[in-house]
Amino acid sequence: MKKIILLSFALIANIQLILGQTEDPYLWLENVDSEKALEWVQKQNDATVQKLSMQKEYQNIYNKSLEIYNSTERIASPSIQGDFIYNFWQDKEHVRGIWRRTAKESYISGTPKWEILLDIDEMCKTDGIKWVFKGASGLYPKYNRFIVNLSKGGGDAVVVKEFDVTTKSFVENGFYIDESKGGASYLDENTLIVSSDFGKGTMTTSGYPNQVKLWKRGTLLKDAKLLYEGDTTDVSTSGYNMQDNEKSYLMVSQGMTFYTNKTFVWENNKLVKLDIPEDCDISSLLNNQLILNLKSDWTVNGKVYKQGSIISANFTSLIKGQKELQLVFEPDEFTSISGISSTKNKLLIDILTNVKNELYIYSFQNGTWAKTKVNAPDFGTISLGSTDDFSDQYFFNFQNFLTPSSLYLGDADKNTIKTIKSLPAYFDGSKYTVNQYKAKSNDGTMIPYFVVSSKNMEYNSKNPTLLYAYGGFEVSSNPYYSGTIGNAWLENGGVYVLANIRGGGEFGPKWHQAGLKEKRQCIYDDFHSVATDLMTRKITSSKNLGIMGGSNGGLLVGVAFTQRPDLYNAVICAVPLLDMKRYNKLLAGASWMGEYGNPDIPAEWEFIKKYSPYQNLKKDANYPEVFFTTSTRDDRVHPGHARKMVAKMIDMGYKVYYFENTEGGHAGSSTNEQRAKTSAMQYSYLLMKLKN
């Protein structure tokens, strides 16, 4: 029988060869844990670590980065759950981390008395598994029980376990779900809303669940009640509980693509589909007002609600099929929404104007929305944090390139704010200045970008410069404070550049949609235009210019150096997509076809193949010596992308650097030591290529 199976595989391989379907000689590197592939990885890792760890700056950067990552002066990010503040914390004593809590008053006072709930390091020793904490969600309103998510090695797939914070232990015979992508949340004390791998046919081609079930305590998961089933060709189907003070609603979302959803609410023992745009985002539910963020124009009863607007809908009426809508916010050409949240009675909207944030409180009174500006710091990035279910208190952070992050407690009812804690300065920001410029892209669009440099920088075209961008999925690239960048790069004479290219969300949905699918080349043109503008201004030269990007940003820099190798002398390409012919067949890749297109459709492959880095590699091109990084345990972007690109470039005769962390998932690292090592290698590489 074994011989027959082997012969069958050989016959299939021969047929594929005749049909031209096995043209890629590096497919074996997609076998993540194969002995041959891991031996190849180890060989590349050893060579890269040996070379980069010998650079004169390496040890100092590692030591300083680890000191920053482990600093006890870091802000303990708060999550309000009932009467307590919860936080996950890692330092040199807690390498894997501790999940802990303190009374809200204790936290606000600035001298929190932490109570350790779960020690991940101890769990790892007991279980013999490299656990990575992936968050916890509590049972409203008492928050005495939590659903804890734990990953084996940092991937997106998690093991779900029920935890009792009173006894500080996992619940005996409590809810437990084996490792899977998806998730679970409480509907009530004895019922979970579950999306998971329930067996054959219950996962989509993107690798996410396509079923939502209700699971009663004391029963087997396989016997859970099927609530809704999407299609296997969807991205995912999920369920969740949406709370509006004492009222809760069971919601189901069927994600047909990355950007379109059908939304249902469980009402009178049946699912009711909400008549709202499939591409809008549901942001909040506040006092029976469903808050919607529009990604395209929506015309209702002759009135046009414009793309990028925030509107509210009377929720109970909407369930009955009636649209009672109110305009909350309408953006202008330079404005977009950075974040939306709600307290018990107020709506918080974080607005981005010319890539600078302002925070507003909105109140629903007499059928209309009134706004008040929060007196938050100016000229930086505001990020909304945790809000309180039982009051109008909320947290937010403020930072910019030279100002360390500060945590504020706000009261949306009184419109007051109070500083809770500020990071210490990890470098002397007074020596540096920030400028915002614009570069003209190929089609005439002006692309803003920030330059962080020494006040004494000479415009001599010789400054070592690092250009960073993302350019996808409506993700905005906002100014941020980084002690690591300050110490490892700025203090070593580097210039840091953050570009707001299209594909992001800096100027609303239109800025993102301008680079979708067949229009994607404009994103790469934007990036090249910023690089060129830096040289025109004599800030740097191609010899001194390096670029960095991760994930979709890894694709960006992969395209950048294959299209314009003349512009860049160093490239850090992290957890990247690179083989755009096969990306939709690898892990979560199929979920991103709404962004990039479907390479299996000839007409769409026509525009994808023009930029796909893996397919566009050429022999005898003057490519820079690229540094690729990824993780063996990345179950979102397959490590095969980076592996195959490196193998192909080596066989073409190019010198490259490669490092693959054995854990860390899509984040690339799980511990502070791993993060410090990656930082030290990356900045040592940049200094070696661009300065030394």
The residues annotated as belonging to the active site are 551, 666
Both tokens of 151, joined, read 């990953």
Whose tokens are 């994930």? That residue is 551
Both tokens of 64, joined, read 């300083």
Query: Among residues 526, 639, 532, which one has the least CA distance to residue 575?
Result: 639
Q: How many other β-carbons are positioned within 10 Å of the β-carbon of residue 227? A: 19
Both tokens of 193, joined, read 């809303």
Q: Cα–Cα distances in Å, from 306 out to 314, 326, 494, 508?
A: 19, 13, 42, 11
Q: Quick check: helix, strand or coil at residue 457? A: coil
Whether the Cβ atoms of residue 202 and residue 210 lie closer than 8 Å to each other: yes
Both tokens of 200, joined, read 């054959």
Contacts of residue 120, Cβ cutoff 8 Å, sequence gap at least 6: 94, 96, 97, 98, 99, 131, 132, 133
Q: Quick check: helix, strand or coil at residue 173? A: coil
Contacts of residue 60, Cβ cutoff 8 Å, sequence gap at least 6: none
| CA dist., res. 91 & res. 114, Å (int) | 15
| Burial class of residue 660, CB neighbours in 10 A (0-12, 13-18, 19+) | buried
| CA dist., res. 500 & res. 503, Å (int) | 9
| CA dist., res. 565 & res. 621, Å (int) | 8
> How far separated are the first and last CA of the chain, in Å rounded?
62
Whose tokens are 């490590």? That residue is 639
Both tokens of 688, joined, read 């070696």
| CA dist., res. 301 & res. 323, Å (int) | 9
| CA dist., res. 353 & res. 332, Å (int) | 9
Whose tokens are 């592996």? That residue is 643
Amino acid at 32: V
H or E stretch at 195: strand 191-195
Contacts of residue 231, Cβ cutoff 8 Å, sequence gap at least 6: 204, 210, 256
